[in-house]
Amino acid sequence: MISTKARLGKDIVTKEGVIIEDDVIIGDSCYLDYGCIIRKGVKLGENSYVGPNCILGEFQMDFHNDRDSEYNPKSLTIGNNALIRSHTVIYSGSAIGRNFQTGHHVTVRENVEAGQNLRVGTLSDIQGTCKIGDYVNFHSNVHIAMYSKIGNYVWIFPFFMSTNDPIPPSEIISGCTIDDYAVIATKATLLPGIKIGEGAFIGAGSVVTKDIPSNMLAVGNPAKIKDHVSSLKHPETLEPAYPWKLRFDRGMPWEFDME
Amino acid sequence: MISTKARLGKDIVTKEGVIIEDDVIIGDSCYLDYGCIIRKGVKLGENSYVGPNCILGEFQMDFHNDRDSEYNPKSLTIGNNALIRSHTVIYSGSAIGRNFQTGHHVTVRENVEAGQNLRVGTLSDIQGTCKIGDYVNFHSNVHIAMYSKIGNYVWIFPFFMSTNDPIPPSEIISGCTIDDYAVIATKATLLPGIKIGEGAFIGAGSVVTKDIPSNMLAVGNPAKIKDHVSSLKHPETLEPAYPWKLRFDRGMPWEFDME
Amino acid sequence: MISTKARLGKDIVTKEGVIIEDDVIIGDSCYLDYGCIIRKGVKLGENSYVGPNCILGEFQMDFHNDRDSEYNPKSLTIGNNALIRSHTVIYSGSAIGRNFQTGHHVTVRENVEAGQNLRVGTLSDIQGTCKIGDYVNFHSNVHIAMYSKIGNYVWIFPFFMSTNDPIPPSEIISGCTIDDYAVIATKATLLPGIKIGEGAFIGAGSVVTKDIPSNMLAVGNPAKIKDHVSSLKHPETLEPAYPWKLRFDRGMPWEFDME
């Protein structure tokens, strides 16, 4: 079902079972795969791909609280060249920049403001009301709590969890902050209100209970500061492996500049 | 496809692609969203919402063992006012009380007996054959092993795991028990047969290897008892933060009674 | 939509909304449930079940890089008697033996070579480019990184994570190896390049930073070798519980041989 009140660009592929509701705007050259659902008011940039059984513009709680009222969606805006893989759900009320990519079975809730080149891996769960910079990489199964603030060029690996409630359950919200270029290895946890400094490295399985300063390496449960990140060596060259931006450029804006 | 042998109440919305099989009973004012599947024999209470691509009454193993025999489903019963979000799968053979809510991509298997006001977050996985009380809250990505027993007013946070096999793989089953008002912070694990006492608090990342008495705080891997839960203070008032029932009422039966 | 260029065997059930693309080959007596999608070139063995909203033969990155070119799929081959539960996504370019089973919301990416009787639990994520032996059991939410090598009769429990990059992000890939009969309890993590020896047992929540020899028990973060696996006793008989193959046979090739 494609609404006659939707505005579709040129050269759009719509496979069997696609749903496009009223007031949707879709840019040129998009590919909408089997059975994806684009709810009322979504704006999707050109050359984007939406996988099977995805939902864009998912209902927020106000719809469920009163399904009989006229549904007045907050817009969801996604920039050009998005690649949204199957079974992903993105709520209304968020704005995501260009070159957005997701894996499968991802959830992104409302009030997320994200920059360009965000990548969100399979089974990740962005709980909403958070701010994410440019060129951020969430690997699979990354869980971002509400009220998190994430800078640019941040890498977060699987089974990460940020939290926000110091005495659950409560009405206190104390979001975490992760600054530019930080790297958080697999299965790390941030307790409520923690701040990870620019370029810091958090080791696998760490539970971070205190703020970690810029460019420091922290490991353990509770995480302890071990050294400067430059103490981590490249296993072959034995040169300092961090800051990583001096040695890695795939998909980064400085790609092809390095020698 | 809506079976003529299904019994639908009044004022039901069925969006494109909905499947309703034989002998399904659906209460008044339900909203069945795009492509949800309600298998044979399911009973869904009035004023419920079922999201896109959900499956209610999912096949148990007996169907797969003999697909050619007449399929004789155990009933799935879900009470009034359910809110079941997209891509959720709930097996036949369970019974869930009123005001049930799920996030997205949830799985609930067979032989689950759950009370009213159960909330199960995105990506949670209830493995079946367990008993869950009233007003229980599972946040995202909570994994409940078979043969778990969970009381009333329990809170469990993401990446929780209860286990049941002391020498895996084996045929021994030793389920965990979590008593009323207990709070289990993110990424905790319970070893097989563990009992968490009423009102206990388990810290983030803990691996619980011994029973925890009522109203005690336990933290670490292996988890050690640290103090009474009242030692955890509200960060602003500095009053004891637990028992939480004395200071928190959102969504609880005593909501609006507090002053 | 069932392509006229697909080759379907006898006695195949295709429920509403099934998509079968060109050059698909499906064996006799398969059951294709509501809305499953079988992309170009997939070969599925006889007597298999594919659940609602599954995708077999999912696109690899080359398709997304150039959607306008003729899509030239690598084949996905799945053996006889597969049981693939709902919302599972399996990429093109993999080959999986007979008696394959998945839970719900599973992802298996490209270049996976797996033997017979592989079971992959709900929400598991096999990241591709890995080799998996016969009779391997992944419980729910198991995450296998690229370049992992897994032997035969291996058991891995929920929230497992294998890794492969020693200085993330980098272009170095150092996959993990898990040998025959190893058992890895819930929430264990393997650091890049780790080798788990035959019949070893890794305790719940362990972070393994060094290779573990055959038949050894290792526990903790970082994991330390504690003893021979035979030190783990059966809780009732008090006999050594490992090697498990001497006391457990359900679903194993030696089932019905034991007395």
Model ipTM value: 0.96
Cis, bond preceding B192 (omega within 30 deg of 0): no
* Cβ-nearest to C143 among A35, A141, A247: A141
**Residue among A89, A123, A189 whose CB faces B204 most closely:** A189
Q: What CATH fold (topology level) applies to the domain A7-246? A: UDP N-Acetylglucosamine Acyltransferase; domain 1 (2.160.10)
**Using CB atoms, which residue from C31, C122, C220 is nearest to B67?**
C31
Beta strands in B81-203 (DSSP E): 83-84, 89-91, 95-96, 101-102, 107-108, 112-114, 119-120, 125-126, 130-132, 137-138, 143-144, 149-150, 155-156, 161-162, 177-178, 183-184, 189-190, 195-196, 201-202
Q: What share of chain A in percent tops pLDDT 90? A: 94
* Angstrom distance (rounded) from CA A98 to CA B127: 39
Dist CA A139 CA A133 (whole Å): 16
| DSSP letter, residue C65 | H
Q: How many Å lie between the alpha carbon of A192 and the closest alpha carbon of chain B?
A: 11
When CB atoms are compared, the residue of C17, C155, C234 closest to B168 is: C155
Look up residue A74 and give its DSSP letter: P
Domain layout of chain C by residue ranges: 7-63+72-246
Q: Which of B106, B123, B201 to mutate to test the interface with A (most CBs of A within 10 A)?
A: B123
Instruction: Say whether pTM exceeds 0.95.
Output: yes
Residue A250, min C-alpha distance to chain B (Å): 31
Choose among B85, B88, B73: nearest CA to B48.
B85
Cβ atoms of residues A112 and A74 within 8 Å: no
CA distance B231 to chain C (A): 27
Contact flag A123-C127 (C-beta cutoff 8 Å)? no
Nearest CA among A63, A61, A24 for reference residue A44: A24
Tokens of A188: 């790390």
Q: Please name the CATH architecture into which domain B7-64+72-164+173-233 falls.
A: 3 Solenoid (2.160)
pLDDT given for residue B250 in this prediction: 95
Q: Which residue of C has its CA nearest to A204?
A: C207
Task: Inspect the interface and report whether the beta carbons of A35 and C17 lie closer than 8 Å.
Answer: yes
| pLDDT, tens only, A214-251 | 999 999 989 999 999 999 999 999 999 999 999 999 99
Averaged pLDDT score across all residues of chain C: 96
pLDDT value for C36:
98
Indicate if the pLDDT at residue B244 is higher than 60.
yes
Choose the weakest-confidence range: A45-54, A60-69, B138-147: A60-69
Cβ distance of C169 and A16 shorter than 8 Å: no
Instruction: Tell me if A168 and B158 make a contact (CB, 8 A cut-off).
Output: no
Cβ pair B216, B204 in contact under 8 A: no
The one-letter amino acid at A89: V
In B, minimum Cα distance to C207 occurs at B221
Confidence of residue C73 (pLDDT cuts 50, 70, 90): confident
Q: pLDDT band at residue B33, thresholds of 50, 70 and 90?
A: very high
Tell me the residues of A at the C interface, defined by beta carbons under 8 Å apart: 13, 16-17, 31, 34-35, 49, 52-53, 83, 86-87, 103-105, 122-123, 137, 140-141, 155, 157-159, 183, 185-187, 204-205, 220-221, 232, 234-236, 241-242, 244, 247-248, 250
Chain A residues touching residue C161 (CB < 8 angstroms): 158-159, 186-187
In degrees and rounded to multiples of 5, residue C68 shows phi and psi of -85, -20
Task: Out of C19, C53, C161, name the one closest to residue A186 (CB).
Answer: C161
Over the stretch A141-190, which tens digit does the pLDDT of each residue have?
999 999 999 999 999 999 999 999 999 999 999 999 999 999 999 999 99
Confidence label for B70 from pLDDT (cuts 50, 70 and 90): low
Q: How far is the alpha carbon of B240 from chain C, nearest alpha carbon, in Å? A: 31
- Cα four-point dihedral sign C24, A81, A23, B28: positive
Does the pLDDT value for residue C71 go beyond 70?
no
Nearest to A67 among B31, B123, B187 (CB): B31
> Which chains touch C (3+ CB pairs under 8 A)?
A, B
| pLDDT number for residue A134 | 98
Q: Is the pLDDT of residue B254 over 80?
A: yes
pLDDT tens-digit readout, B174-193: 999 999 999 999 999 999 99
CA–CA separation, C48 vs B131, rounded Å? Answer: 33
Phi-psi category of residue B229: left, alpha or beta, with phi > 0 → left and psi -120 to 50 → alpha: alpha
Chain B residues with beta carbon closer than 8 angstroms to that of A206:
none
Distance, in Å, from the CA atom of A206 to the CA atom of B253, rounded to the nearest integer, reads: 37
The span from the CA of B141 to the CA of B120, in Å, is 9
Chain A residue with the nearest C-alpha to that of C63: A49
Question: Nearest-5° angle of CA A190, CA A192, CA A193?
Answer: 100
Q: Given B161, B163, B167, which is nearest C234 (Cβ)? A: B167
Q: How far is CA B110 from the centre of its chain?
A: 12
- Total beta-carbon pairs less than 8 A apart between chain A and chain C: 97
CB within 8 Å: B64 and C53: no
Provide the pLDDT confidence category of residue A258 given band limits of 50, 70 and 90: low
Assigned CATH for C7-63+72-246: 2.160.10.10
Does the distance separating the beta carbons of A157 and C159 come in below 8 Å?
no
pLDDT per residue as tens digits for the range C23-33: 999 999 999 99
Give contacts of A87 with chain B, Cβ < 8 Å: 53, 87, 105
Whether residue C166 and residue A204 make contact (CB cut-off 8 A), yes or no, is no
Give the mean pLDDT of C202-216: 97
CA distance B183 to B205: 13
CA B207 to chain centre: 21
Interval A36-51 mean pLDDT = 97
Contacts of A135 in chain C (CB under 8 A): none
Side-chain-side CA neighbours of B91 within 13 Å: the count stands at: 23
What gap in Å lies between CA B157 and CA C45, rounded to an integer?
41
Per-residue pLDDT band at B71 (split at 50, 70, 90) = low
Predicted pLDDT of residue C70: 66
Instruction: Please tell me what DSSP assigns to residue A245.
Output: G
Closest CA to C93 of C107, C79, C73: C73
Cα distance between the two ends of chain C: 51
Q: At which residue do the structure tokens 């003729």 appear? A: C70
Considering only CB atoms, A53 lies closest to which of B49, B53, B122, namely B53
